[in-house]
Amino acid sequence: MSFNSFGHLLRFSSFGESHGQVIGGMLDGVPPNIDLSESDIQPFLDKRRPAQSRFTTQRKEPDKVKLLSGIYQGKTTGTPIAFIIGNQDSRSQDYTEIAKQYRPGHADYTYEAKYGIRDPRGGGRSSARETAIRVAAGAVARKVLTTQYPMIQIVGGLMMMGEKKLSEPYDFKATYQNPLFMPCADEKTCSLWQDYLDRIRKDGDSVGAMVEIRALHVPPGWGAPIYGKLDADLASAMMSINAVKSVEIGDGVRVANLSGAKNADEMRMRGGHPVFLSNHAGGILGGISSGADIIVRFAVKPTSSILTPRRTIDNSGNEIDIVTKGRHDPCVGIRAVPVGEAMMALVLADHYLRHRGQCGEL
Amino acid sequence: MSFNSFGHLLRFSSFGESHGQVIGGMLDGVPPNIDLSESDIQPFLDKRRPAQSRFTTQRKEPDKVKLLSGIYQGKTTGTPIAFIIGNQDSRSQDYTEIAKQYRPGHADYTYEAKYGIRDPRGGGRSSARETAIRVAAGAVARKVLTTQYPMIQIVGGLMMMGEKKLSEPYDFKATYQNPLFMPCADEKTCSLWQDYLDRIRKDGDSVGAMVEIRALHVPPGWGAPIYGKLDADLASAMMSINAVKSVEIGDGVRVANLSGAKNADEMRMRGGHPVFLSNHAGGILGGISSGADIIVRFAVKPTSSILTPRRTIDNSGNEIDIVTKGRHDPCVGIRAVPVGEAMMALVLADHYLRHRGQCGEL
Amino acid sequence: MSFNSFGHLLRFSSFGESHGQVIGGMLDGVPPNIDLSESDIQPFLDKRRPAQSRFTTQRKEPDKVKLLSGIYQGKTTGTPIAFIIGNQDSRSQDYTEIAKQYRPGHADYTYEAKYGIRDPRGGGRSSARETAIRVAAGAVARKVLTTQYPMIQIVGGLMMMGEKKLSEPYDFKATYQNPLFMPCADEKTCSLWQDYLDRIRKDGDSVGAMVEIRALHVPPGWGAPIYGKLDADLASAMMSINAVKSVEIGDGVRVANLSGAKNADEMRMRGGHPVFLSNHAGGILGGISSGADIIVRFAVKPTSSILTPRRTIDNSGNEIDIVTKGRHDPCVGIRAVPVGEAMMALVLADHYLRHRGQCGEL
Amino acid sequence: MSFNSFGHLLRFSSFGESHGQVIGGMLDGVPPNIDLSESDIQPFLDKRRPAQSRFTTQRKEPDKVKLLSGIYQGKTTGTPIAFIIGNQDSRSQDYTEIAKQYRPGHADYTYEAKYGIRDPRGGGRSSARETAIRVAAGAVARKVLTTQYPMIQIVGGLMMMGEKKLSEPYDFKATYQNPLFMPCADEKTCSLWQDYLDRIRKDGDSVGAMVEIRALHVPPGWGAPIYGKLDADLASAMMSINAVKSVEIGDGVRVANLSGAKNADEMRMRGGHPVFLSNHAGGILGGISSGADIIVRFAVKPTSSILTPRRTIDNSGNEIDIVTKGRHDPCVGIRAVPVGEAMMALVLADHYLRHRGQCGEL
């Protein structure tokens, strides 16, 4: 029920604002006796960390995670694991003006409509800075999954950006080898996309993107009818990421054009095991994992903070024009890749524990 | 946490199988003193009811809802409102064979992987028959909303089906005037779509569709960061509908192609009130309603039950071919329209109450 | 969060009023493949059923449970198990007067203060008739427990009533052999208590009672810090039973008088297993089961409906005197015994599944 | 569902261990625009702070609370309020031995049975140190209540300890004027109780206690049937406090001895308002507040850490004797007073918001 919590048996809660002293969170329900230290978490934060290339905000944050509880002698104890990340590069600028204006595409107007108050410093609670904490929690969720199922892998990449689109198959091993987090090992393609984004960046504009996240080797049987469906929870998880405007499972929007004959994922036995001959369903049938790769895709809108002047109003009802200065990602879709992976890990780990609770160990 | 419940302050739970004696549900947290009788619910069930045209299953179900609790002298009392709908036309066929086979695209294999048992009669719990109960609950949720906010309207329609696509603006008043639930008053267009679906139906095939649901005149301020976002809950709600494979808010997947300058919904004052000059965001910013129309779209996969033989396996690991006989909708997207409207109503009513709880009456 | 639901992984929801057509409920999260039929539930309802002796209300209700969902070929399928019990003997009297008056000790005034409306027929939703549904759910919870842990037993009895008090040890095998549900095989004692209650009944008065419920052979490790403690959940469960005003674990209120030296349950090894040499703690330490008997006790206030005139007001603010006619138990504590057992079973089964979810099968 | 969270619309989560770097928590769902700073919280922590008298543990902790989020310019923003308290005086002793032994009355054995691992430093997560965080959260909950209902007061006191018992009426204004937190202004009585506890303390023993908490001027209508009852939530809240073994509402265990005629709280009009002429019910009828004082009482067992040797086992199954050295309260009931008040505030504030959500502002 909590507004700032997510998940059920494995439950993640987060707190903090963009320019507060820290952002933080706690993960409750983690199984005991799992090896865990900050070094299990930091590599994932390092991927999402800003200012690593010219394509992300130049805000300098080391994003060092600090574990506060739930660990004893390097192992989880089954009690809540809390962690914080310091905010170091929050500029002490004057927010008097920005506090009055509603930036188009941002949550300024809606927060004020809801609460009658908002923290304007760097977007406050609505800033994508919060997603760093999700990445930290997702790293723990991965440990929960892989401790029991070492084969499970969670991969992702940015496969579309503005007018650019990668064609399949994607090479997810290459994702973190290039600054746009493209699942593509071809340097020329990567270079072309970077040139494209450079032009947008220099124009003071921004661009949208599409991200795909996959979970490989997930056992069949996770998820549950009717309102605890694995795809419904994934949809909620991905849609909760800042700037996301769509979530697709498997063929997603394309199923609207398909015939039943083409959409059916036929089955055969291979090596004594059931296999699907295609994966239009994206690994989920009736809300339950099928054993095929789980495929989720989401669209990220272009960063709302741009240098092009836009028409808006202020909180006194004056019509004004606004230019959003400050440090921003020209394409927030890039850093949404590790965040999407983290959300996939959190949803799967929760459903693993819920499944084990109701149905027992496989 | 419950697998078969949905919502928070307004919480809906459902039970029942396709060929059980009844399907049913209960809605908890309904405000007291709202006028409510079966006649408030039945018209919505009548829209979703099968066998009203040749384009839906020929299973004959009167779908008469019966209220069991929570009402006194025609008014809600604040206690749970339970309701059931009888299953009358569940054929007493022999399920011995079908119980062994995994129909492609259905949840047969995954239910068995999860539970080690499944009810094969008409799809059991995974049948879309369960959505009738959602429609009943949605009708109550509409009363909750409109008792306090009479201006709120929830409309929808099927605006894409296979190779056919309606162009905007849609005419939602026309939706229930044609058997495909198209938001289109043009008889010729409607006729062409019906011819198209007739061909598919006669071929024993099926086709996917896209449905759009809108909520008009929702006040700004509903929804909540970070994991109680209005769009995240809508994504979960729509994805939980049988056969849905995508959920989009506002421009949805198209934002991947947009620039920041084009995506921004600029604001101006009109008649002393803030207005948005466009609605790429689909009425939601930062997870909170903005006062603009809330726009949700979802793709429905083609019915998996088709007459074309498909390859599959049985539960002994034998490779077989299967043809799914029985009564089925050639396009399940049609009847997903009233279901989608119901889910919109449920999500909004829950968020209205949650908002009122935390922030007080507007 | 739901007001009318209870539990987490195993979640029970109930609906219905005293004089509605039915009372009902659903139990979600039941593990699959458990043998279950109405004959597993009916014996427990038969114990709680009214009008079996002169010491309970003379309302005649067969209390036949009817399963509506979640079972296939005699086994649970993992989907919600819904059930209803008909209300047959709800008298069609005139409630015009009673609807205006606030009966002391009843929820009339508070329901109206909360909702501005109430169903006055037989107490509506606040009637103890709702507890029949708990007993049905508890019977299913027992199956969940004993399928995996056949040794677990849940027993109880009324061990105090007005000025009467049984001394330990109790003989729980005898509980359902006498009409007062006393854990006592001594016929003379039982007879004396019945005489005592007869006098109260004939005076048109009522009397309070104390009930003890025990769970035997529960494995250590169920429950969880800090707000999911087994004793906290038991406290909530028992306090939710109509007319209950206290809940004690183990020594309960008596610990206020004890010294630390006396209160400590010392441990020794017996047959290679840890045992506690006493059980002041009532089988729970730090919110987690210890393997010792779980002991819960609760006080039930005397029935508020009595023939002695009491001063009250009506909903127009008039001061009146009231005599509550109708059919009532002179000691509601009696039939609280099977209800308390049911709540114990529900709490334990939920914690068993939650424990299995987080920590795996023992 | 979370194990370490409590409440619904107002939801409190806590983390941290006795000898970790910090203990902390977050409170989600706080209404916006409430004045809040650390100075609203610190006075309540100062009451509970250890080492203020010879009757509490000599562990020196300043218990300074630090707010991490959810506040802007001195006002709540509606986003999560997180706070931490440093652990400064956690002694760096050797826990090798204690880590192997199960101290009677403590949660050592059960934590290990559940998780297969435990943090032995100062009791880890099972230490009463966690209650400091509840007191901080309770202070915020008081602000939520009194901002809207300035008349509401939450008071409490220790009214029984071992063989000592205060007689009514209690003088709650005196509670924090004496080191035992007795609601008693009589210095002689206070002095006698202190002498009594001194003797116990010097003997290396400990003693149990009884604490009463009251909430005054709570409006009628808060709470909800059937599983969201105000008294059921209070029972859970109080039972979750370390060492608590009973919870009573109003007359509590005494109702077992009462007749219906005596137990009825009659009503009359006074100054145009309904009043109850007695308060056996403790301000709650049918799970909903009646407007009378809400009265909750709980028994706290004697501190389990005593100098008298007790028999126990270690985790290798050896039978040993144990003496629990270290710094401990001879009567943990004393400091349970501010903790009980905090839990009362949290439950009431949650129910206030839930009531407002479902039923609207009064």
Which string of DSSP letters, residue by residue, matches C143-190?
HHHHHH-TT-EEEEEEEEETTEEPPSSP-GGGGGGSTT--S---HHHH
Nearest of A323, A336, A314, A329 to residue A108 by alpha carbon: A314
Find, among B111, A151, C208, the residue nearest to D256 by Cα: C208
Q: What are phi and psi of A271, to 5 degrees?
A: 60, 35
Structure confidence at residue A66 (pLDDT): 97
**Token pair recorded at residue B317:** 């690991």
What is the rounded distance in angstroms from the CA atom of residue D83 to the CA atom of residue A26?
A: 13
Kindly tell me if the per-residue pLDDT of D1 is higher than 60: no
Q: Is C32 on the interface with A (CB under 8 A)?
A: yes
CA R_g for chain A:
21
CA distance D215 to C346: 31
Cβ D361–B358 below 8 Å, yes or no? no
If phi > 0 it is left, if psi is from -120 to 50 it is alpha, else beta; for residue B182 that is: beta
Chain D residues in contact with B78 (beta carbon < 8 A): 358-359
Across the interface, do D353 and B358 touch by the CB < 8 Å criterion? yes
Classified as helix, coil or strand, C235 is helix
Residue D327 pLDDT level (bands cut at 50, 70, 90)? low
Pairwise CA distance, residues D75 & D33, whole Å: 5
Gyration radius of chain D over CA positions: 21
Q: Are B115 and C33 in contact (CB under 8 A)?
A: yes
Asked if residue C312 has pLDDT above 60, the reply is yes
Phi-psi region of C329 (alpha: psi -120 to 50; beta: other; left: phi over 0): beta
- A5, A359, A361, A362: best mutation site toward chain C, by most C Cβ within 10 Å? A359
Residue whose token pair is 């070929």: C73
Whether the full predicted model's pTM is greater than 0.95, yes or no, is: yes
State both tokens at D54.
């010879």
DSSP C259: B
Integer Cα distance of C136 and C139 in angstroms:
5
pLDDT digits (tens, 9 = 90+) for D243-286: 999 999 999 999 999 999 899 899 999 999 999 999 999 999 99
Over range D92-104, report the average pLDDT: 84
D17 to A79: CB separation less than 8 angstroms, yes or no: yes
With an 8 Å Cβ cutoff, is C28 touching chain D? no
CA geometry: angle D83, D89, D92, nearest 5 deg: 120
Q: What is the pLDDT of residues B192-249, one digit of tens each?
A: 999 999 999 998 899 999 999 999 999 999 999 899 999 999 999 999 999 999 999 9
- pLDDT confidence of residue A95: 81
| Closest C-alpha to A59, from A85, A90, A23 | A90
Per-residue confidence in pLDDT tens, chain A, 362 aa: 479 999 999 999 999 999 999 999 999 999 999 999 999 999 999 998 877 888 877 778 889 999 999 999 999 999 999 999 999 877 667 788 889 999 999 999 999 999 999 999 988 999 999 999 999 999 999 999 999 999 999 999 999 999 999 999 999 999 999 999 999 999 999 999 999 999 999 988 999 999 999 999 999 999 998 999 999 999 999 999 999 999 999 999 999 999 998 998 999 999 999 999 999 999 999 999 999 999 999 999 998 888 888 999 999 999 999 987 766 789 999 999 999 999 999 999 999 999 999 999 86
A290 phi and psi angles, rounded to 5 deg: -105, -10
- Which residues 209-238 on chain D approach chain C with CB closer than 8 angstroms? 209-210, 219-229, 231-238
Nearest C-alpha neighbor of D123 from the set D133, D112, D135, D138: D112
Q: What is the 3-state secondary structure (H, E, C) of B175-187?
A: HHHCCCCCCCCCH
Contact residues on chain C for D224, CB-CB shorter than 8 A:
3, 114
Instruction: Give the per-residue pLDDT at D362.
Output: 60
Residue in A with minimal Cα distance to B222: A114
- pLDDT per residue as tens digits for the range C182-212: 999 999 999 999 999 999 999 889 999 999 9
| Cα distance between residue C9 and residue C7, in whole Å | 7
Structure tokens at A31: 């199984």
Rounded Cα distance between B77 and B30, Å, is 8
Touching B: which chains, 3+ CB pairs < 8 A? A, C, D
Which of C147, C1, C4, C140 lies closest to C80, judged by CA?
C140
Helix (H, G, I), strand (E, B) or coil at C140: helix
Contact B195/A at CB under 8 A: no
Other C-beta atoms within 10 Å of D91: how many? Answer: 12
Chain centre distance of CA C175: 15
Q: In angstroms, how far is the first alpha carbon of chain B from the final one?
A: 30
Dist CA B122 CA B86 (whole Å): 15
Percent of chain D with pLDDT over 90: 83
Partners of residue B284 on adjacent β-strands: B289
The Cα D229–Cα D206 span in angstroms is: 35
Burial class (CB in 10 A: 0-12, 13-18, 19+), C104: buried
Dihedrals phi, psi of C105, to nearest 5 degrees? 85, -15
Distance CA C20, CA C68 (A): 18
C360 chain-A contacts, CB cut-off 8 A: 31, 356, 361
Q: For residue C226, what is the nearest residue in chain A, using CA coordinates? A: A79
Give Rg (Cα) of chain C: 21
Question: D207 CB near a chain C CB, below 8 Å?
Answer: yes
Mean pLDDT, chain D, whole residue set: 94
Q: State mean pLDDT over C177-183.
A: 97
Average pLDDT, chain A: 94
pLDDT at residue B338 in the model:
98
Least confident of B164-168, C256-260, D1-5, D36-40: D1-5
Indicate whether C311 pLDDT > 60. Answer: yes
Please name which of C121, C328, C117 lies closest in space to residue C242, comparing C-alpha atoms: C328
pLDDT at C344: 98
Which of the residues in chain B have pLDDT under 70? 1, 91-92, 326-327, 362
The 10s digit of each residue's pLDDT in D142-179 is 999 999 999 999 999 999 999 999 999 999 999 999 99
Match 């009479």 to its residue by tokens: B150
* C169 touches A: beta carbon within 8 Å: no
Closest by Cβ to B4, choosing from A113, A227, A263: A227
Is the pLDDT at C1 greater than 60, yes or no?
no
Whole-Å CA distances, D116 to A33, A144, A149, D107, D226: 7, 16, 20, 13, 37
Spatial separation of the C-alpha atoms in residues C19 and B69, rounded to whole Å: 10
Q: Do C77 and B115 touch (CB under 8 A)?
A: yes
When pLDDT is averaged across residues C322-344 and rounded to a whole number, the result is 90
Helices B336-359 & D336-359 angle (0-180, nearest 10): 130
Instruction: Please give, rounded to a whole number of angstroms, the shortest distance from the CA of D120 to a CA of chain B.
Output: 32
In this prediction, residue C28 carries a pLDDT of 98
The percent of residues above 70 in pLDDT, for chain D, comes to 98
Question: Residue B79 and residue D225: Cβ atoms within 8 Å?
Answer: yes
Q: Please indicate if any CB of chain C lies within 8 Å of the CB of D16.
A: no
CB A6 within 8 A of CB A240: yes
Estimate the crossing angle of helix D230-239 against helix D336-359, to 10 degrees.
150
CB contact under 8 A, C77 and B8: no
Checking ipTM against 0.95, whether it exceeds it is: yes
Is-contact B104 B322, C-beta < 8 A?
yes
When pLDDT is cut at 50, 70 and 90, the band that residue C327 belongs to is low
Please give, rounded to a whole number of angstroms, the shortest distance from the CA of B261 to a CA of chain A.
6
Contacts of B39 (CB under 8 A, 6+ apart): none
C-beta atoms surrounding D17 within 10 Å: 28
Min distance A130 CA to chain D CA atoms (Å): 12
Taking CA–CA distances from B125, the nearest residue in chain A reads A225
